[in-house]
Amino acid sequence: MLTTHAHASRAYLAMNSITEGSKSQLAFYEVLNGQHFDAFLSVSGFDTRFIPVHYYNIRALNLMWNHLKGGAALPPSQVIRKVPRGGTAGAAPALTTANLPAISTSPGSDAIQVGAGAVNVPK
């Protein structure tokens, strides 16, 4: 599951941990400052604060493909933190992959902990 919203997705993750427990195969990736509407990324104020979620949708789908076709492990649940573009609103530097960190196989302190209906998302 890939999300930028805590309202429904975290609740789903919590319920999944109750329903499936340790057998769950759900991986949850929360993209901080992600924007679902790529067309807004050029708007003044959006350009310096947000990154495209679509980029991570493609990455997550590729991870799932590799998991289903080749048995590759899915990276653990985690917070994905953008790298700021800098600049000023309306004149931010071009977005590059340097601003878009990977979905990590070892998220360390950005790992999301889940169990028994509780979800702990690092700040």
Helix H or strand E segment including 3: strand 2-3
DSSP states of 77-103:
PEEEPPPP--S-TT-PPPP-GGGS---
- Two structure tokens written together for 57: 């949708």
Q: Which tens digits make up the pLDDT trace of 71-123?
A: 999 999 999 999 988 899 999 999 999 999 999 999 999 999 999 999 999 99
Whole-model pTM: value is: 0.90
C-alpha span between 89 and 74 (Å, rounded): 36
CA angle 87, 90, 96 (to 5 degrees): 55
Residues 6+ apart with CB under 8 A from 49: 33
